[in-house]
Structure 1
Amino acid sequence: MAKQDLLSIVEKIIALDSQMRFASIIDLKGNIVEGIMKTGKNSLESQHQEEHFCKQVSQRRKMRKEFDRPLGKVRYVHVEREKVTQFVIYTSRKTIFFTMEPELTIQRKMKIVSQIKRIAANL
């Protein structure tokens, strides 16, 4: 998939809600292939910390695979922190990682996850 197509996907994701903070597409090695911080939002991590986190996302994806047979494939991972909500969605060849403000209702968060799955269905 062309870099411009990946940028378009990330732009659509970040535009889903005003409470979005950061959206990225990560390859299977944990490299950020495209990412956008929402205009007006400040990163809570340094670029080095963000890159390190994404490498760990890739490692955890590999670790979770060993449970796919008995439990089924992971649909998404949701981490609720004091300052930020983090989501990881697996597609066949890429990983979508995005953050948002924690104040959103769980119903709104689940709607956003569903929208992102549709947007990223071809990754």
Structure 2
Amino acid sequence: MSSTEIENLEKACQKVLELSKVRFVGVLNPMGKKIAGGFKEGVTSFLPDKDNQKMYVQLMLEYMMRKDFDKQLGEIDYIVSRRSNLTMISIPTKEYLVLISCQRDASAQEIINHVNSAFTTLPDIKP
């Protein structure tokens, strides 16, 4: 992966972090490793770092398992998980999984639209 591609992914993540209710935006590779993004300044994770990495792998595996049904049900546009402390949104692109953590009362659809816009307006990034 080129440094330009990583810079573009970082720029897209920063655009999404501008939304007031977004806490975290990360880009995961197919192995579940975060390759870009992070927490909004002043926001900390509810989990320790090692558990964050474990969660990234778990979310990637969950997405890959759901892909088994793409032929019958159609491709996944996004996955939303609403928990008592926050809402998690996973959005697949052609090569990556974009993970967003936001306040529980955030509008998932507004954030999804913003993510799609941020990631499609930068060069070399296509959903």
Partner of 1:71: 73
Is residue 13 of structure 2 the alignment partner of residue 10 of structure 1?
A: yes
Write the mapping of 1:10-49 to structure 2, written as runs, cut at 5 A: 10-15=13-18, 17-49=19-51
For 1:43-102, what per-residue CA distance to the aligned partner results, in whole angstroms no more than 9, with x for missing partners?
111111111111111111211111000000011000100101100000110000010011
For 1:10-61, what per-residue CA distance to the aligned partner results, in whole angstroms no more than 9, with x for missing partners?
111111x211111100011111001221112121111111111111111112
TM-score, scaled to structure 1? 0.90
Secondary structure of 2:23's partner? strand
Partner of 2:114: 115
Q: Could you tell me which amino acid in structure 2 is paired with residue 5 of structure 1? A: N
Task: Please say if residues 80 and 108 of structure 2, whose CA atoms lie closer than 8 Å, have aligned partners that are also in contact.
Answer: no
Runs of 5+ in structure 2 lacking a partner? none
Give the whole-Å Cα distance in 1 for the aligned partners of 2:37 and 2:47: 14
Offset at residue 103 of structure 1 (A): 2.1
Give the whole-Å Cα distance in 2 for the aligned partners of 1:54 and 1:92: 17
Secondary structure of 2:81's partner? strand
Give the whole-Å Cα distance in 2 for the aligned partners of 1:4 and 1:35: 10
Give the whole-Å Cα distance in 2 for the aligned partners of 1:22 and 1:57: 15
Give the whole-Å Cα distance in 2 for the aligned partners of 1:92 and 1:103: 29
Runs of 5+ in structure 1 lacking a partner? none
Secondary structure of 2:75's partner? coil
Amino-acid identity (%): 20
Give the whole-Å Cα distance in 2 for the aligned partners of 1:56 and 1:97: 12
Partner of 2:58: 56
TM-score, scaled to structure 2? 0.87
Aligned length: 119
C-alpha RMSD over aligned residues: 1.3
